[in-house]
Amino acid sequence: MPVGTYGAVRTVSPDEVKATGAKIILGNTYHLLLRPGHDLIQRRGGLHRFMRWDGAILTDSGGFQVFSLAKFRRVGDDAVSFRSHLDGSEIVLTPEKSVEIQEALGSDIAMCFDECIAHDVDRAYAQAATERTHRWARRCKEAHRREDQALFGICQGGLFADMRRASAETLAEMDFPGYGIGGLSIGEEKARMYELLEHSTAALPATKPRYLMGVGSPEDLVEGVARGVDMFDCVLATRIARNGALFTPTGRLNVKNAACREDEGPIEDGCDCYACRGFSLAYLHHLYRVEETFGLRLATIHNLRFLARFMVRMREAIVQGTFERFRKDFLASYRMTNQEVRHEQKAKWLASHQEATET
């Protein structure tokens, strides 16, 4: 799911997003609450009409901001008090308020309010936060009224395998139409994330969608699907595009590199996106060098289309019974340099310790 934090996917129009093959996008409850306000969006017919998107929309609950805006918050069993990162005004967010905002936005999928915890908290705090997430999930379910909106629960549990499984079991018993898996890929090593993910998905019903929140790099998508995940979201595709990084089947390509200066080929041979159909790497390199925003659009379109095609290919491989071969071949050819891994880990750390905006 491409991310439209403020009701728009960065640098591209709704029609361009649709052309990449995306059928659902994500909006941010916390940021839309602050600007322009859920009441205003409701008066204008809901988020679909407001942003002119006729596909599906998933809204997060604001729970990640409980984590990412740590220095501005106070967490209690009943509510979370924030200081707005914009003007310092106090905001009180409860499970009921989160549901109210998402119902006003009119998203197709709403998420329960949860507490996402840092990867380095001790077991006692992780246990308390996870139990609080469960209580908040029950309150969200009781408050939810819109029959045309699916409410997903969110599993937590920190970096504790037994707690992960227990959280998934508890949420599964509440019988939500789908389940988010939160609190992963926030600083832990990838191998550890994959291990913990298995404990979550093992306890969730296979007949309902399982959504790994905040994960979007190709190698994580294929490993997530291998562990039973159906849905993903992340700002990665649009964020790295703005820095000149492009997804390809063999790894990321930096279009700013001198090697692209005279390359008349497309970003990716065989890609059917608007950027690859009509423009060369040399042209894209030029646009970045002169800081022309059209270059950001083309790179974003390609990255979003790459991920959409990638998901289609995985789905087809599952149907054909060849997914393990697909996974093995992809991981053998796709490489991230150590510098890219460090950059991605640093970006996630910054996002989790500053305001969670797509900057």
CA separation for the pair 326, 205 (Å, rounded):
25
Whether 60 is catalytic: yes
- Residue 83, H or E segment: strand 80-83
CA separation for the pair 165, 231 (Å, rounded):
19
CA separation for the pair 262, 258 (Å, rounded):
8
Residue with tokens 């139409």: 177
Residue with tokens 């990716």: 268
Q: What is the CA radius of gyration of the chain?
A: 20
Minimal CA–CA distance to 11: which of 179, 184, 239? 239
CB neighbours of 145 closer than 8 A, spacing ≥ 6?
103
Catalytic hit among 15, 54, 60, 114: 60
Answer yes or no: are the C-beta atoms of 111 and 102 closer than 8 Å: yes
Whether 233 is catalytic: yes
Helix (H, G, I), strand (E, B) or coil at 144: coil
Token code pair at residue 353: 């310790």
Specify the amino acid at residue 172.
A
Q: Which alpha helices (H) appear in the chain, and where do they start and end?
A: 14-19, 29-34, 38-43, 47-51, 63-68, 95-105, 123-143, 161-173, 190-202, 218-226, 236-242, 274-278, 281-289, 293-320, 323-333, 338-353
Answer yes or no: are the C-beta atoms of 8 and 50 closer than 8 Å: no
Answer yes or no: are the C-beta atoms of 216 and 236 closer than 8 Å: yes
The size of the chain, in residues, is 359
| Active site amino acids | 60, 233
